Structure 1
Amino acid sequence: MNKLFLIAALAVSLFGEKTLLPESTVAVVNGIAISVDERDKEVGKLLPKAYFHSSIDEEKLKNLQEQALESLIEKTLLYSYALSKNINTTESEIDEVMTNLAARYGSKDLFEGAIKRLGFTKATFRDAVKKDEVLKKLYKQEIEVEISDKELREYYDKNMHKFKEPEKVRVRLIHVRNNPEDPEGREKAKKRIDEAFQKLEEGEYFADVAAKYSTAMSRIKGGDMGYLHRGRLQKAVEDVAFSMDINKTSKIIEQDIGYFIVKVEDKLVPNQLSFEKIKDGLAKDLKEKEESRRKSELLKRLMQNSVIVK
């Protein structure tokens, strides 16, 4: 048995969750150590590109480190399980992956330079490739599923209510916000919306009035909000919009956050989406859900029979 595993297991029995691991180690999974360096490389994968050339706050970094560690623990459990099932990869398969990666960089030297910048040696990168290839094989063998057309059709027929486009209205909106920090905010907003309504009464185009008087971002598009289903606007505003006829303009609608005027330009009735239209998206969704379920169940079984020290 691995010496580090014995030390970690003994520490758990003596100190429980307050185990002190070596400074270079952040976790031990069934005797396999996960180093700070491995965790930090995994953090780099999770970081949005926007953070690559800037600093992040301590709390954000801590959350990313926790996510990275959980990911590495899962990968370690799955990798060990794969090896126990005699799922492995050959040196020639690793060579092929390395060759393909080098080709993407245009030359062997550029590829090796990129590896170095990522903090790998050629040997440690090759080892990482090996683990990834083993995990891919495990995924294909025990987790990956294909949803047949028959299964998709049966799901669609039983759940047709899930594949309906709701009633929609296309609206233009004038929204004059009330500034709660201004004692005269509501009075000023009311004056502005009254002026806008007067312009509409005088025959000015709704888009022009919205561009001039609305304080919402939609003013840059003449108040055009596009097609909206229920739940996208203030309830009182959408109740008016959905009750109006096409090409009609509402009266002023007063709300706590300000005042609204709505114009309805088009309406779409609820529409049942055809099987062919939703087929590809449904297949992707069901596949992802089933594979996620299988992976979660496998990890749950593996964790129940593992010693994990963090």
Structure 2
Amino acid sequence: MENKILAIVNGVQILDKHLDEAIMRYPADRRQYLETPVGREQLLEQMISFELMYNYGKELGTDSSEEYLNQVEKAKKDLLTQIVIGNELSKVEISDDEAEKYYNDNKENFKEMEQVQAKHILVETEEEANEVAKKIAEGLSFEEAAQSHSSCPSSQNGGDLGFFTRGRMVPEFEEAAFKLNLGEVSAPVQTQFGFHLIKVEDKKEERVKPLEEVKEVIKQNLLQEKQNQRYFDLTEELKSKYRVEVYK
């Protein structure tokens, strides 16, 4: 892509790449707007404005003022501190063996409970539930029946409640759902909300997630812990090297 000149302010060029670099410093949700033609034009105007203010400050001699020099020293100190911390923490690594050991020592943390994916139709009376069940038995799809008869907001999705584990639904509903075979429609199930017809679409047995599925998450968590420890240890080490006086 041609890196064209977008503006020249007092002899300084603002290029396409400068605009792209500025956009990348914004959060992802803001970048989406700034990458549009209107957003880019607004950002360019802001960059031109900043460049003008910079030149004006130089003209006024603000870059020689005590306020400016103090801020520069503070920024230099903060930047040096952040670079040192970043360099030290970048030395910390987590091996695959460390991740595997943590996984083997903590498998209970990676258990996935038994789940079912169910659809349901909610009506007020058992008589209504039986009437809907009869229509389904005669060929009406469960999803169409849910859209036509169910009072639950899930009716918009054909009654689909997605996957859920035990303890997420009221006891009567949960007991019936976990007992059903795939594709089977339950008899009317009464709960505090009314009468339900339930159909189970899928089941997931209880399992321990395999190492490969969770390894990267483990490594990130261990890395953060190890980096925190490195930061603490280095701080304590430097306390013995440089004089520290704390007054309370």
TM above 0.5, yes or no, is yes
Alignment of 1:64-75 (within 5 A): none
TM-score by length of 2: 0.58
Shift in alpha-carbon separation, 1:195–1:151, aligned structure 2, 3 A: same
1:62 alignment partner in structure 2: none
Question: Is the 2:111–2:209 Cα contact (8 Å) retained in structure 1?
Answer: yes
- How far the C-alpha of 1:161 sits from its partner, in A, is 2.6
Q: Confirm whether residue 218 of structure 1 aligns to residue 154 of structure 2.
A: yes
Secondary structure of 2:84's match?
A: helix
Render the CA deviation track for 1:61-94: whole Å, top value 9, x for unaligned. xxxxxxxxxxxxxxxxxxxxxxxxxxxxxxxxxx
2:190 alignment partner in structure 1: 254
Question: Which whole-Å CA distance do the structure 2 matches of 1:116 and 1:289 have between them?
Answer: 46
Question: Which whole-Å CA distance do the structure 2 matches of 1:225 and 1:202 have between them?
Answer: 24
Q: 2:107 aligns with which of 143, 147, 160?
A: 160
Shift in alpha-carbon separation, 1:196–1:150, aligned structure 2, 3 A: same
1:104 alignment partner in structure 2: 21
Secondary structure of 2:116's match?
A: strand
**Mean Cα displacement is larger for which, 226-235 or 216-225?**
226-235
Instruction: Give the letter aligned to residue 105 of structure 1.
Output: A
Task: Tell me the percent identity.
Answer: 25
Q: Which has the higher contact order (CA 8 A, sep 6+)?
A: 1
Q: 1:287 aligns with which of 201, 204, 223?
A: 223
Question: Which whole-Å CA distance do the structure 1 matches of 2:77 and 2:44 have between them?
Answer: 19
1:151 alignment partner in structure 2: 98
Question: Is the 2:144–2:158 Cα contact (8 Å) retained in structure 1?
Answer: yes
Secondary structure of 2:202's match?
A: strand
Question: Which whole-Å CA distance do the structure 2 matches of 1:125 and 1:250 have between them?
Answer: 73
Q: Confirm whether residue 263 of structure 1 aligns to residue 199 of structure 2.
A: yes
Question: Is the 1:193–1:213 Cα contact (8 Å) retained in structure 2?
Answer: no
Structure 2 segments unaligned to the other structure (5+ residues) = 1-16, 24-42, 58-62, 240-245
Question: Is the 2:183–2:199 Cα contact (8 Å) retained in structure 1?
Answer: yes
Question: Which whole-Å CA distance do the structure 1 matches of 2:73 and 2:130 have between them?
Answer: 71
- How far the C-alpha of 1:132 sits from its partner, in A, is 5.0
Alignment of 1:61-140 (within 5 A): 104-105=21-22, 110-111=46-47, 113=49, 131=78, 134-140=81-87
TM-score by length of 1: 0.48
Question: Which whole-Å CA distance do the structure 1 matches of 2:52 and 2:149 have between them?
Answer: 58
Question: Is the 1:101–1:111 Cα contact (8 Å) retained in structure 2?
Answer: no
1:41 alignment partner in structure 2: none
Render the CA deviation track for 1:187-210: whole Å, top value 9, x for unaligned. xx2265454334334442111111
Shift in alpha-carbon separation, 1:224–1:141, aligned structure 2, 3 A: same
1:232 alignment partner in structure 2: 168
Render the CA deviation track for 1:206-265: whole Å, top value 9, x for unaligned. 111111122333222211233332233223212211111112111222222333221012
Question: Is the 1:169–1:228 Cα contact (8 Å) retained in structure 2?
Answer: yes
Structure 1 segments unaligned to the other structure (5+ residues) = 1-99, 177-188
Shift in alpha-carbon separation, 1:108–1:203, aligned structure 2, 3 A: closer
Q: Which has the larger radius of gyration?
A: 2
Secondary structure of 2:200's match?
A: strand
Question: Which whole-Å CA distance do the structure 2 matches of 1:108 and 1:150 have between them?
Answer: 49
Question: Which whole-Å CA distance do the structure 2 matches of 1:259 and 1:101 have between them?
Answer: 63
Secondary structure of 1:231's match?
A: coil
Secondary structure of 1:245's match?
A: coil
- How far the C-alpha of 1:152 sits from its partner, in A, is 0.7
